[in-house]
Amino acid sequence: MKVILATSFALVAFAFNSILCRMALGTDEIDAASFTAIRLLSGAVTLSILLLLRNKKRDVFKAGNWRSAFFLFAYAICFSFAYLGLTTATGALILFGCVQMTMIGISITKGERPSSLEWLGLVVAAAGLVYLVLPGLTSPPLSSAVLMATAGVAWGIYTLRGRASEDPLADTTGNFARSVPMIALATLPFVSQIHLSNRGIILAILSGSVASGIGYTVWYAALKYHTATRAAVLQLAVPVIAAGGGILFLAESADLRLVIAAALILGGIGLTIAGRK
């Protein structure tokens, strides 16, 4: 039950991360570089406070590592800038397609062999994703598509590296703290383009502190109980949850397509879990 709750919380956090990013960047409340910088910095601060409350003598740089921090940074900055030129649907398809290919491809090279039922679940869930985003698909600008594909690969690798974490809170804190100087350097070329609003800053802080910092920590805690294939397929639930959040918080409409797509994706996830058992 703890694994189910942790996994569910993480996936909901991922979905709200997309919603918060869409609310901030889609309405031009903040520029992409500033959103990413505030997101990573607020995540590092929040997690550092939680880590210090748990263990007052713990050094945030003793856990985590620079390599994982780099993939976290690469995902975050590529994700923000990619959505400046992509529709939500096209971005979701590229992102989660690359996440799946990365995680499953690497796991197969390391000896993991998904069962036939797991493969079936993957195909069904992927078909549900395509069906969900199909009306909103447009021919994406090459630069934006490459950025989102890079974000997908980076997130897939970051997720796989988290499966070995023995202390999810400490490791995620260390990764976020190490990502701050990276985003500080990456933001320098965009200083002249910085524009902020109170709403944009609040959305970025919520994205970093709750949806990213706490969400990624819980995801790291749940990963040890999932195979790479299952972890990849589970994340296909994020667009469905995000669509539901859009209905609740952004006044977006629901239709039969969403219901069918949700059934396909959740059914595919169920097949993948049953296949491993």
Helix ranges (H only) for 83-165 are: 88-109, 116-133, 142-162
> Whose CA is closest to 74, among 186, 161, 171?
186
Residue 38: predicted pLDDT: 96
Residue 178: predicted pLDDT: 95
Place of tokens 């790291």: 220
Residue 239: predicted pLDDT: 79
Q: Which parts of the chain sit beneath pLDDT 70?
A: 56-58, 60, 88-89, 137-139, 250-254, 275-277
How far apart, in Å, are the Cα atoms of 30 and each of 120, 181, 214, 265? 41, 20, 23, 33
Distance CA 227, CA 211 (A): 23
Residue 128: predicted pLDDT: 83
DSSP state of 140: -
Residue 138: predicted pLDDT: 67
Place of tokens 């219901």: 259
Q: Which two tokens stand for residue 223?
A: 């990963």
Whether the predicted model's global pTM rises above the 0.75 cut: yes
Q: Which two tokens stand for residue 264?
A: 């396909």
Residue 125: predicted pLDDT: 84
For residue 236, the SS3 value is coil
Residue 56: predicted pLDDT: 62
pLDDT (tens digit per residue) in 1-35: 788 899 999 999 988 888 888 888 878 899 999 99
